[in-house]
Structures are given as C-alpha cells and as structure tokens.
Amino acid sequence: MKRRTLLATAGAGIGITASSGCAQLSRVVPGCDSMHSTTIGLEPASLSDEQVSHLFPLVFTELRKAHQQIIEEASDERYKACPPIPDSVQSFTDLARKRIDRQQREYGGEPENRPDYLRTAYLKRENSYSELQIAIEDVVVS
C-alpha cells in the first residue's frame, strides 16, 4: 500500500514539474503546443515610403526593458511563452494590437478596402522595419 501511495505521489510531482516547466519562457518548450502558447517572431519588412507614412510602429528604444528583451529573443529565434503567459508578453501583444487598430483607424475607409500591410504590427529599430508575427494560441494577431 505504501508503495502505491509513493508512486502516486511521485507521479503527481512529475506532472507538476512538467506543467510548471511549460510556464518558463523558452525557445523550445516540451509539452507546450501552439494551441496553448503565445509566439512572437520578426521578419524584415520591405516597405515603400508611402506605406511607412501610414504606420504606427513600435519603436525599439521607446519600449520597456521587458518588451525589448522579448524583441531580442524574437530576433534570434521565434519567442515562445507558455501558460501562464507572463504579464510582459500580454502587455506587449496588447500594445501590438493597439498599433494595428490605430493604423487601420487612421487610414480610414472600409475595412475590406484597406491594404493588407495595415493588418500587421511593425517594429522600427534604428532605420529598419520588421513585421511582428504574433500568434496567441491558434489566433494570428499580426
């Protein structure tokens, strides 16, 4: 009987360890699939001056340190956060959504007539622009 209790307790401890490991911010997180994670990536953007005039990019030097750290990790390799999603990741994705909303609102017109590039959040770092590729669970934000 004691052996069963010990095994059950050990099994529960292993489950806790595995699930709490998923809560860590990491590039490769075992057991954390895209249905339960937030991912952030960066891709260089090729934009015309006309397109840039309609953007409200996140400016790297104006971001909080926690947001800059997310960008640094996403620059090297896709950044992935597993539940529970840290506040810094949540606030970063909220900020990106607000920029997309502002770009579309300022551009005006009917949503179906707006250019596709306005549906993406951008990062401006020095004199270059990057597209922010953000997915929360299975929903593409940007």
Instruction: Say how many domains are in the chain.
Output: 1
Mean pLDDT per segment of 10 residues, for the chain of length 142 residues? Answer: 39 33 43 82 97 98 98 93 94 98 95 95 97 93 89
Task: Quick: pLDDT tens for 50-67.
Answer: 999 999 999 999 999 999
User: pTM of this prediction?
Assistant: 0.75
Regarding beta strands 38-44 and 79-81, do their DSSP bridges make them parallel or antiparallel, or are they unpaired? antiparallel
Residue-wise over 53-75: b if at least 16 C-beta within 10 A, else e? eebbbbebeebeeebeebbebbe
For residue 63, what are the domain limits? 2-140
